[in-house]
Amino acid sequence: MGVGKSYWSQLLAPKLRCEVYDLDAVIVQNVGMSIAEIFATQGEKYFRELETNTLLDFAQKDNFILATGGGTPCFNNNMEWMNANGTTIWIDEAVEVLAERLAPEKLHRPLLSHLSDEELHQFLSAKLQERHPFYSQAQHHIGPYLEKEHFDFLTN
Protein backbone atom coordinates (compact mmCIF):
# COMPACT_ATOMS: atom_id res chain seq x y z
CA MET A 1 0.00 0.00 0.00
CA GLY A 2 1.14 3.50 -0.79
CA VAL A 3 3.60 2.51 -3.52
CA GLY A 4 1.63 4.39 -6.16
CA LYS A 5 -0.16 1.56 -7.96
CA SER A 6 -3.04 3.83 -8.92
CA TYR A 7 -0.72 6.70 -9.87
CA TRP A 8 1.52 4.60 -12.12
CA SER A 9 -1.39 2.79 -13.74
CA GLN A 10 -3.03 6.11 -14.66
CA LEU A 11 0.26 7.30 -16.11
CA LEU A 12 0.75 4.15 -18.19
CA ALA A 13 -2.80 3.65 -19.46
CA PRO A 14 -2.63 6.23 -22.29
CA LYS A 15 0.70 4.82 -23.48
CA LEU A 16 -0.66 1.28 -23.48
CA ARG A 17 -4.05 2.40 -24.84
CA CYS A 18 -5.98 0.49 -22.26
CA GLU A 19 -8.43 0.97 -19.43
CA VAL A 20 -7.38 1.19 -15.80
CA TYR A 21 -9.20 -0.40 -12.90
CA ASP A 22 -8.52 -0.13 -9.21
CA LEU A 23 -9.59 -3.38 -7.55
CA ASP A 24 -10.56 -1.69 -4.28
CA ALA A 25 -12.64 0.92 -6.15
CA VAL A 26 -14.45 -1.83 -8.07
CA ILE A 27 -15.22 -3.60 -4.78
CA VAL A 28 -16.52 -0.36 -3.22
CA GLN A 29 -18.72 0.27 -6.25
CA ASN A 30 -20.08 -3.30 -6.27
CA VAL A 31 -20.74 -3.52 -2.54
CA GLY A 32 -21.72 0.07 -1.80
CA MET A 33 -19.44 0.28 1.25
CA SER A 34 -15.93 1.59 1.75
CA ILE A 35 -13.11 -0.86 2.34
CA ALA A 36 -12.92 0.40 5.93
CA GLU A 37 -16.65 -0.31 6.39
CA ILE A 38 -16.28 -3.80 4.92
CA PHE A 39 -13.40 -4.56 7.29
CA ALA A 40 -15.32 -3.12 10.27
CA THR A 41 -18.65 -4.84 9.62
CA GLN A 42 -17.68 -8.06 7.84
CA GLY A 43 -14.03 -8.62 8.76
CA GLU A 44 -10.88 -9.20 6.78
CA LYS A 45 -11.68 -12.80 5.83
CA TYR A 46 -14.91 -11.71 4.13
CA PHE A 47 -13.08 -8.87 2.38
CA ARG A 48 -10.36 -11.19 1.09
CA GLU A 49 -12.95 -13.57 -0.37
CA LEU A 50 -14.76 -10.65 -2.00
CA GLU A 51 -11.45 -9.34 -3.30
CA THR A 52 -10.58 -12.71 -4.87
CA ASN A 53 -13.99 -13.07 -6.49
CA THR A 54 -13.75 -9.56 -7.90
CA LEU A 55 -10.24 -10.28 -9.19
CA LEU A 56 -11.43 -13.43 -10.95
CA ASP A 57 -14.14 -11.40 -12.71
CA PHE A 58 -11.33 -9.72 -14.67
CA ALA A 59 -10.75 -12.96 -16.58
CA GLN A 60 -13.56 -11.71 -18.85
CA LYS A 61 -11.71 -8.51 -19.80
CA ASP A 62 -8.91 -7.82 -22.28
CA ASN A 63 -6.21 -5.17 -22.44
CA PHE A 64 -6.37 -3.41 -19.07
CA ILE A 65 -4.29 -2.40 -16.10
CA LEU A 66 -5.52 -3.50 -12.69
CA ALA A 67 -4.13 -1.83 -9.59
CA THR A 68 -4.68 -4.31 -6.79
CA GLY A 69 -4.62 -3.75 -3.07
CA GLY A 70 -1.32 -4.53 -1.35
CA GLY A 71 -2.72 -7.69 0.19
CA THR A 72 -4.33 -9.07 -2.95
CA PRO A 73 -1.37 -11.22 -4.05
CA CYS A 74 -1.11 -12.79 -0.58
CA PHE A 75 -4.43 -14.59 -0.36
CA ASN A 76 -6.33 -17.39 -2.10
CA ASN A 77 -3.60 -18.11 -4.67
CA ASN A 78 -4.26 -14.70 -6.24
CA MET A 79 -0.63 -14.16 -7.24
CA GLU A 80 -0.54 -17.49 -9.04
CA TRP A 81 -3.75 -16.59 -10.88
CA MET A 82 -2.49 -13.12 -11.80
CA ASN A 83 0.77 -14.55 -13.16
CA ALA A 84 -1.13 -17.08 -15.24
CA ASN A 85 -3.55 -14.48 -16.62
CA GLY A 86 -1.49 -11.35 -17.15
CA THR A 87 1.72 -9.47 -16.53
CA THR A 88 2.48 -8.81 -12.88
CA ILE A 89 4.65 -6.00 -11.58
CA TRP A 90 5.90 -5.59 -8.02
CA ILE A 91 6.26 -1.87 -7.41
CA ASP A 92 8.76 -1.78 -4.58
CA GLU A 93 9.29 1.37 -2.55
CA ALA A 94 11.37 2.19 0.51
CA VAL A 95 9.58 1.90 3.86
CA GLU A 96 10.53 5.49 4.71
CA VAL A 97 8.79 6.73 1.58
CA LEU A 98 5.72 4.60 2.24
CA ALA A 99 5.44 5.81 5.84
CA GLU A 100 5.66 9.43 4.70
CA ARG A 101 2.95 8.90 2.07
CA LEU A 102 0.62 6.90 4.29
CA ALA A 103 0.81 8.91 7.52
CA PRO A 104 -1.77 11.49 6.36
CA GLU A 105 -4.09 8.71 5.10
CA LYS A 106 -4.13 6.49 8.19
CA LEU A 107 -7.73 7.18 9.10
CA HIS A 108 -8.92 5.96 5.69
CA ARG A 109 -6.97 2.71 5.78
CA PRO A 110 -8.36 0.01 8.06
CA LEU A 111 -5.04 -1.69 8.72
CA LEU A 112 -3.36 1.61 9.69
CA SER A 113 -6.00 3.69 11.44
CA HIS A 114 -4.94 2.77 14.99
CA LEU A 115 -1.17 3.25 14.53
CA SER A 116 1.09 6.10 15.65
CA ASP A 117 3.63 7.34 13.11
CA GLU A 118 6.38 5.25 14.74
CA GLU A 119 4.13 2.18 14.80
CA LEU A 120 3.29 2.82 11.14
CA HIS A 121 6.94 2.47 10.14
CA GLN A 122 7.26 -0.76 12.16
CA PHE A 123 4.00 -2.11 10.74
CA LEU A 124 5.04 -1.39 7.15
CA SER A 125 8.42 -3.06 7.64
CA ALA A 126 6.76 -6.15 9.10
CA LYS A 127 4.05 -6.22 6.42
CA LEU A 128 6.60 -5.98 3.61
CA GLN A 129 8.61 -8.80 5.14
CA GLU A 130 5.44 -10.91 5.49
CA ARG A 131 4.34 -10.20 1.91
CA HIS A 132 7.76 -10.51 0.27
CA PRO A 133 7.32 -14.21 -0.65
CA PHE A 134 4.20 -13.27 -2.64
CA TYR A 135 5.49 -10.03 -4.16
CA SER A 136 8.71 -11.73 -5.25
CA GLN A 137 6.66 -14.01 -7.51
CA ALA A 138 5.79 -11.03 -9.74
CA GLN A 139 7.12 -11.21 -13.27
CA HIS A 140 8.70 -7.75 -12.98
CA HIS A 141 10.23 -5.98 -9.95
CA ILE A 142 10.56 -2.20 -10.05
CA GLY A 143 12.02 0.11 -7.43
CA PRO A 144 12.71 1.36 -4.90
CA TYR A 145 12.80 5.11 -5.53
CA LEU A 146 10.68 4.92 -8.64
CA GLU A 147 11.06 7.04 -11.73
CA LYS A 148 8.96 7.02 -14.89
CA GLU A 149 11.81 5.36 -16.76
CA HIS A 150 11.33 2.20 -14.67
CA PHE A 151 8.20 1.50 -16.69
CA ASP A 152 9.73 1.94 -20.14
CA PHE A 153 9.73 -1.82 -20.72
CA LEU A 154 5.93 -1.69 -20.87
CA THR A 155 5.72 0.89 -23.61
CA ASN A 156 8.51 -0.24 -25.94
* Each residue's pLDDT tens digit, 115-132: 998 899 999 999 999 999
5-146 under CATH 3.40.50.300, yes or no: yes
- State residue 152's pLDDT score: 62
Exposed / middle / buried, residue 59 (Cβ in 10 Å: 0-12, 13-18, 19+): exposed
- State residue 6's pLDDT score: 82
d(CA 16, CA 57): 21
Q: Residue 66: what are its φ and ψ, rounded to 5°?
A: -120, 115
pLDDT tens-digit map of 40-78: 899 999 999 999 999 999 999 999 999 998 999 999 999
Q: What is the pTM of this model?
A: 0.84
Asked if 9 and 67 count as a contact pair (C-beta separation under 8 A), the reply is yes
